[in-house]
């Protein structure tokens, strides 16, 4: 991109290059659009790479070998426990509080108990270790808070289960099926990283002040909570609930388009020809619907997807299938965005570390559109 003059205004910062990164590429081959994590195409990662391998890739720069993966897995399992003080706090937080608010609080509290809380914000190795601990702890925090607000006994982490299966077992109290585990782990891989989205940008801005990693992640969580970002998957499910039945879908979408309503789960600021993650996750939705013996939501989603894509030229983004996927797993709607955060922590942390490794304070400009220069008059003359 050519140099941008101070007087050029880009609403929403669209098209503005604010960082250089070696973490993710969303332009794809020859700028055609796609998604790569550190040079690996998402389609290939989705075919046979676990969430643990993906997180290792983002934090350490390349996919792990067997020994590295085993050691990384053990470090994550060793870090799953969260402080008793945080569990006690979860019990004091009112049950109606959104899980994203609880998660934001949890990460802030976890900072106080991190063994390297006093490490320099530019200590690369310490930041990697903090990041690994947060990957494990955030999953436990989300699961514990969910059990507590439902008045259910806590399910402690299991060392014989990987990251995704352990989380699902801690929430539901039972080990997931192979199909359910695979679909959830795939969603975690697809949500792990996505270049300079709003929450990642928030994290990097915070880190650029030489604040600590936990503070940057808190900023990211606060940003992700918004319905135009992470909350979009919750809104996508509400669309399906409004339709209610397959026989209502054609009429509902026709009327919604006539009213020029915005249909959540469609379109993307960057992907003009379709989000590659949505196509990958759609197959998992069909497999899970078949396993539970209820394809009603697939039959509702299909005509909506077809009409919005053809009439509005807005293909689905990853939030459209993920909403159905998590419903099939019996997960509450307000857990969808915390799960997004659980996955994205690896990407956020990688960006925070990259920012701190090559830091420059972010300080953009604003175009002034207020009154011209005025003189202050005495109070009696106003």
Tokens of 267: 């379109």
Q: How far apart are the first and last CA of the chain?
A: 49
* Catalytic residue positions, numbered: 268, 319
d(CA 192, CA 349) in angstroms, rounded, equals 10
pLDDT digits (tens, 9 = 90+) for 4-57: 455 788 888 877 888 999 999 988 655 556 899 999 999 999 999 999 999 999
Instruction: Write the CA distances from 6 to 3, 14, 61, integer angstroms.
Output: 10, 15, 35
Query: Would you say the CATH fold of 232-328 matches that of 24-225+345-357?
Result: no
Report residue 353 as tokens. Answer: 């570390």
pLDDT of 1 reads 41
Query: What homologous superfamily does CATH list for 232-328?
Result: Cytochrome P450-Terp, domain 2 (1.10.230.10)
Domain boundaries, the chain: 24-225+345-357, 232-328
Query: What token pair was written down for 126?
Result: 């310490």
Tell me, what's the pLDDT at 29? 57
Counting as low any pLDDT under 70, the low residues of the chain are: 1-6, 28-33, 272
pTM reported for the whole predicted model: 0.92
The CATH number fitting domain 24-225+345-357, selected from 1.10.1660.10, 1.10.3720.10, 1.10.580.10, 1.10.10.10: 1.10.580.10
What is the Cα–Cα distance from 43 to 316, expressed in whole angstroms?
17
């Amino acid at each position: 991109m050519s140099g941008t003059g101070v007087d050029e205004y880009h609403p929403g910062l669209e098209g503005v290059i604010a960082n250089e990164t070696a973490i993710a590429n969303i332009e794809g081959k020859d700028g055609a659009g796609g998604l790569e994590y550190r040079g690996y195409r998402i389609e290939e990662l989705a075919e046979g790479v676990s969430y643990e391998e993906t997180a290792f890739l983002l934090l350490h720069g390349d996919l792990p070998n067997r020994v590295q993966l085993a050691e990384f897995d053990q470090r994550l399992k060793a870090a799953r426990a969260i402080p008793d003080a945080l569990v006690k706090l979860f019990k004091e937080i009112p049950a109606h509080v959104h899980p994203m608010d609880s998660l934001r609080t949890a990460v802030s509290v976890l900072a106080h108990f991190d063994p390297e809380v006093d490490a320099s914000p530019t200590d690369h190795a310490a930041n990697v270790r903090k990041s690994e601990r947060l990957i494990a702890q955030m999953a436990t925090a989300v699961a514990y808070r969910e059990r507590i607000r439902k008045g259910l006994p806590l399910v402690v982490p299991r060392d014989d289960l990987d990251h995704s299966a352990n989380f699902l077992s801690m929430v539901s109290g039972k080990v997931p099926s192979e199909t359910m585990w695979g679909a959830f782990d795939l969603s975690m891989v697809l949500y792990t990283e996505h270049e300079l989205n709003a929450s990642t940008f928030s994290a990097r801005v915070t880190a650029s002040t030489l604040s600590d990693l936990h503070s940057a992640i808190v900023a990211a969580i606060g940003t992700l909570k918004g319905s135009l970002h992470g909350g979009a998957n919750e809104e996508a499910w509400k669309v399906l609930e409004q339709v209610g039945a397959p026989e209502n879908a054609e009429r509902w979408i026709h009327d919604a388009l006539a009213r020029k309503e915005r249909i959540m789960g469609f379109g993307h600021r960057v992907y003009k020809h379709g989000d590659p993650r949505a196509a990958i996750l759609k197959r998992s939705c069909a497999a899970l619907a078949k396993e539970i013996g209820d394809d009603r939501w697939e039959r509702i989603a299909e005509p909506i997807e077809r009409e919005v894509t053809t009439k509005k030229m807005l293909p689905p983004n990853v939030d459209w299938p993920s909403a159905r996927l998590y419903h099939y797993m019996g997960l509450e709607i307000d857990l969808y965005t915390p799960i997004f955060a659980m996955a994205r922590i690896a990407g956020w942390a990688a960006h925070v570390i990259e920012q701190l490794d090559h830091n420059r304070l972010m300080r953009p400009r604003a175009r002034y559109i207020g009154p011209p220069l005025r003189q202050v008059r005495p109070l009696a003359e106003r």
